[in-house]
Amino acid sequence: MCATCGCGHDGPTITIPGTDHDHRHPHQHPHPHDEHTETVTLEQKVLAKNDLVAEQNRRWLAGRGILALNVTSSPGAGKTTLLERTIREYGTRRPIAVIEGDQETLLDADRIRSAGARSVQVNTGAGCHLDANMVRGALDALDPEPDSVLFIENVGNLVCPALFDLGERNKVVVVSVTEGADKPLKYPYMFAVADLVVINKIDLIPYVDFDIETCCSRARSVNPRVDILPVSATRGDGLESWYAWIDTCAMSTMPGATVDNTNPQE
């Protein structure tokens, strides 16, 4: 995991597109290089600290009735395209804000803003995933509306994001048909913690070697409870089912809950 993958040497940069300032927050992962037992102990401490901050994020979001969805995938699976379309179509029903996670650039955050949603970019540098503390800083910068939907687009990676709770209500894994049907077996930990698998780019099925039933069967072999939705973010297939799934999740947030006015940074 992250104690051996080389991430976390530099602090993340949190930037609101269209502004010239950022919010820097220290992000350090221990990188011991001696005994395996020491490595495991430090990894456990990192995750325990992360889980504590994640629970603070979760309470902060729930107090405002905000549905937070942690969206993960391999690079190029179509997360950002799916969010752009969701903002344009589903955004007429509920306010949407987005936390964008990438190692570098503001490209995806700019795309999200052009689609019509408020966004904040978290650049992780050498880091391969977002963590709860980064999200806490992003919440401070973004300040999403009460009763809105917050998408957290994680760094493109199906390994480390599986281990780090961000305080989200649900985890979504996007896999594209161009990647093959073996992703659930190759990356079982990510699929095991997912609430929804979105199979994207189904418009390309005639041109690639991909079997939806095989992919679904493999996903359910590691996670029998997972929901699965085949979609095409470019053509629009299956998106009403995606929006209905978001609606169902939003109804399970805490409507009418007392708003926690504590700054998430505190």
Q: Can you tell me the distance from the alpha carbon of 105 to that of 110, in angstroms, rounded to the nearest whole number?
A: 10
- Work out the number of other CB atoms within 10 angstroms of the CB of residue 126: 13
pLDDT tens by residue, 223-251: 999 999 999 999 999 999 999 999 999 99
Q: Is residue 128 very low, low, confident or very high in pLDDT (cuts 50, 70, 90)?
A: confident
Could you state, in order of their start, the residue ranges of all structural domains in the chain?
A: 53-252
Residue type, 196: L
Burial label for 104, CB within 10 Å (0-12, 13-18, 19+), is exposed
- Is CATH 3.30.720.110 the right assignment for the domain spanning 53-252? no
Distances (CA, A) of 155 to 50, 75, 131, 164: 17, 8, 10, 12
Strands 96-102 and 196-200: unpaired
Confidence of residue 122 (pLDDT cuts 50, 70, 90): very high
Confidence band of 142 (pLDDT split at 50, 70, 90): very high
pTM of the model: 0.83
Q: Are 88 and 180 in contact (CB under 8 A)?
A: no
Query: Residue 201: CB partners within 8 Å, gap ≥ 6?
Result: 77, 78, 176, 177, 178, 232, 233, 234
- pLDDT the model gives residue 252: 85
Between β-strands 22-24 and 13-15, what pairing exists: parallel, antiparallel or unpaired? antiparallel
Instruction: Quote the distance between the C-alpha of residue 50 and its chain's center.
Output: 15
- CA Rg value for the chain: 18
Q: What mean pLDDT is reported for the chain?
A: 87
User: Alpha-carbon distance 196 to 238, whole Å?
Assistant: 14
Q: What are 10-42's pLDDT values in tens digits?
A: 567 777 877 665 555 444 444 444 444 555 565
What is the reported pLDDT for 214? 98
C-alpha 240/C-alpha 222 separation (Å) is: 26
User: Which sign, positive or negative, has the C-alpha torsion 181, 228, 151, 59?
Assistant: negative
